[in-house]
Structure 1
Amino acid sequence: MSDFVRSWRTASTAAGWAFPAEWLLAEVIDVAESAVRGEDPAPALFCLGAARARAGAQLTEAVADLTAFHRVVHPEEGEPDPDAVPSRWLRSLSMGWADAVAEHIGATRVDDGLTGLTTGAYLRTRLTEVYQACEADGTAPAEHYGLVVVTVEVPDDLWLERAAAMVLVADTLHGVFSAGQTRTLVTPATAVVLTRLDPLLPSRVLAARRLVRHRLHQDGTDSAVVRMWLETLPSDYQSACGLLESLRH
């Protein structure tokens, strides 16, 4: 086993692996063991691809390392050749790498790539700050803050139309609530705006509702039903999280 891993590391380094000291992972051992036992290493390669991504390796680096692995498994085939690597190995490694990258992006991005609205995690952070500020001031959150809720309802088979409608909704919210409010996508069909309460807020909500409906009509997405209303913040943070969770159902 150790000889196989050593040979693989040497081949990978020769192929251009930039940081030899960071090459060895637990998943490398799992892949090597499957190869020595004569088993299909594809399942283990999926885990290795994910581990490489989490360690910061680019996909091209992971694929070059896979090519080196294939060369050690099949030394009779001569020089390392990426085209000779079985497609199922490459697919498994790539899918593992992509899954880990997607998970990382989902955990670190603070906005939705389609609508530009912030994520639920970011909103919860903002709510924490709001409740802390209210506690420090000795004021009730419901007296100063609220959530403008917007939902878009379309038939189940028109999910693409729903996505298009949410883009228009988000663009409207960005325009109407642009004075430091937090605009968040709670579900693919629900958005909220964390905003301070003021006498002009009801008129802004009404204007936003009218503008959304007008833009949807112009866009030809008349099947989308838009609802918009104002929720005052509950008395404590946990109840606020419960309110957000209720909007998901």
Structure 2
Amino acid sequence: MDQFHRVITLTSAELRERWFEQSSAAGWAFVSDWHHAAVDALCEACLLGQNIWAPAERLGSVRADKGVSLGETLADLDGLACVLPDIADGIIHRAASLGWAERMTTPRHAVFDPLTGLVSVDYLRTRLGEVYRAAEVAGTKVSSTHGLVTVRLNLAGRIGWDRLTPLILAGDAMRTVFDGGQTLARLADHMAIVLTERTPMLARRTHLLTGMVAERLGRDQQADESPARIWIERLPDNAPAAVDLIGELAR
């Protein structure tokens, strides 16, 4: 009780300083971009017991505007939770994620989904066609050279914007793990896939992705069931069958 009392008697400036120290220690890259009026507003709301949703959502929007990834934004908020362990960090993470997403609604390119940074289904079909044509020229089978890392999300009990939060978080994890030119696509609100080569590291990368998605979605989990199921899907040996498979996975 005494420790909690000491924490809540921090001033806004002291909380901001300790929060920044935590984020800096965790690797915040751009010191000059960290402080913003939205940071002060969130500090004050936490200390005064006010509604934290609006300032957290605003901070997420500010971070997106500065080009900060969703993963970095949430890691920064983890620093706040280290200083104030009694705050509702799940609510803060969800609000910041939605603020970040809304700021990202202007597409950088037509093939990208603006919320997740994942490519569209149409672009995925184009990439599959290229892979199958290359395999035909090389005399190889796509089932042996490529596969689909499939991420199916549990959206039970979610409505409206809240249905998009798991895909936004999962997409950020996918880009972190598969950062070597693989095709990362959004099939539906509950489904995303990675078109990737079958390398010796594929199983390890898939395992890493599973843990990362579980950790990020665990903060936001609203249902008792597992937040995601991730597996490697075998591709068929002809392009039309691959397109059919994509359609089935999207359902």
Question: Which amino acid is the alignment partner of residue 164 of structure 2?
Answer: A
Q: Distance in 1 between matches of 2:132 and 2:186?
A: 21
Q: Verify the 8 A CA contact 2:182 2:195 in the aligned structure 1.
A: yes
Q: For residues 96-107 of structure 1, what are the structure 2 equivalents within 5 Å?
A: none
The share of aligned pairs that are identical, in percent, is 34
Cα deviations by residue, 1:31-68 (Å, 9 ceiling, x for unpaired): xxxxxxxxxxxxxxxxxxxxxxxxxxxxxxxxxxxxxx
* C-alpha distance 199-163 of structure 1, shift in aligned 2 (>3 A): same
Q: Distance in 2 between matches of 1:199 and 1:125?
A: 26
TM, length-normalised to structure 2 = 0.54
Q: Verify the 8 A CA contact 1:216 1:222 in the aligned structure 2.
A: no
Q: Distance in 2 between matches of 1:159 and 1:247?
A: 22
Q: What secondary structure, in the 3-state scheme, does the structure 2 residue paired with 1:124 have? A: helix
Q: For residues 208-219 of structure 1, what are the structure 2 equivalents within 5 Å?
A: 208-218=209-219
- 1:125 corresponds in structure 2 to 126
- 2:172 corresponds in structure 1 to 171
Question: Which amino acid is the alignment partner of residue 242 of structure 2?
Answer: A
- 1:221 corresponds in structure 2 to 221
C-alpha displacement at 1:215, in angstroms?
1.0
Q: Distance in 1 between matches of 2:174 and 2:238?
A: 26
- 1:4 corresponds in structure 2 to none
Q: CA RMSD in A?
A: 1.8
Q: For residues 55-66 of structure 1, what are the structure 2 equivalents within 5 Å?
A: none
Structure with higher helix content: 1
TM, length-normalised to structure 1 = 0.54
- 1:75 corresponds in structure 2 to none
Q: Verify the 8 A CA contact 1:161 1:221 in the aligned structure 2.
A: no
- 1:245 corresponds in structure 2 to 247
Question: Which amino acid is the alignment partner of residue 236 of structure 1?
Answer: N
Q: What secondary structure, in the 3-state scheme, does the structure 2 residue paired with 1:167 have? A: helix
Q: Distance in 2 between matches of 1:156 and 1:133?
A: 43
- 1:181 corresponds in structure 2 to 182
- Consecutive unaligned residues of structure 1, counting only runs of 5 or more, are 1-104
Q: Distance in 2 between matches of 1:140 and 1:177?
A: 22
Q: What secondary structure, in the 3-state scheme, does the structure 2 residue paired with 1:229 have? A: strand
- Consecutive unaligned residues of structure 2, counting only runs of 5 or more, are 1-105
C-alpha displacement at 1:109, in angstroms?
1.4
